[in-house]
Amino acid sequence: MATIFDKIIRGDLPASFVWQDDICVAFMDISPTSPGHTLVVPRQSVVTLAELDAATRAHLWEVANRIAVAQQKALGSKAQHFWVNDGRAAGQSVPHVHIHVLPRYGRDQLQTMGRVTWHLLTLAIPKKPSKKQRETLEAQAQAIAAELAKS
């Protein structure tokens, strides 16, 4: 069965893309835990990292790292989490492997803890961002994409 991410990759659902190549895509998380929260997703629709070949796995991490650098330049983040819920029992809600690149801005521990808790508590609830939220995601995506294009 097609995952939400398959539908985004096919263009059947909207998303704010920061990167696309033959192997993977990256787009803004619909429910960001911090401003700029990006997902790196292989075009191959498998659930866990172990189901990918080594070259694809390595490519995903390379793209995730480049996105983190671009987030710092574009959005002023100071550090980031690379976060993988690698299977359902690890809290994965979309059964299509992906790396969260979650920017951190410094002095944001409490805010991030609150947002992570909210994120986990509401994972099962379908999200419908407002027009303004979509515009914010799109603006952040374009800023990150512009930095990636320079690198």
Contact between 123 and ligand DGP (CB under 6 A)?
yes
DSSP secondary structure letter of residue 90: G
Question: Which range binds ligand DGP by CB under 6 A, 18-26, 48-56, 84-92, 140-148?
Answer: 84-92
Contact between 85 and ligand DGP (CB under 6 A)?
yes
* Angle at the Cα of 35 from the Cα atoms of 71 and 101, rounded to 5 degrees: 55
The count of residues in the chain is 151
Binding positions for ligand DGP, 35-74, rule CB under 6 A: 39
Q: Among 18, 19, 24, 27, which residue interacts with ligand DGP (rule: CB under 6 A)?
A: 27
In 3D space, the residue among 27, 32, 36, 93 whose CA is nearest the CA of residue 63 turns out to be 27
Q: Residue 96 catalytic?
A: no
What's the CA gap between 38 and 33, in Å, rounded? 10
Shortest Å distance, C-beta 96 to ligand DGP: 8
List 41's β-bridge partners, or say none: 25
Contacts with ligand DGP, residue ranges (CB under 6 A): 4, 13, 15, 27-31, 39, 85, 91-94, 123
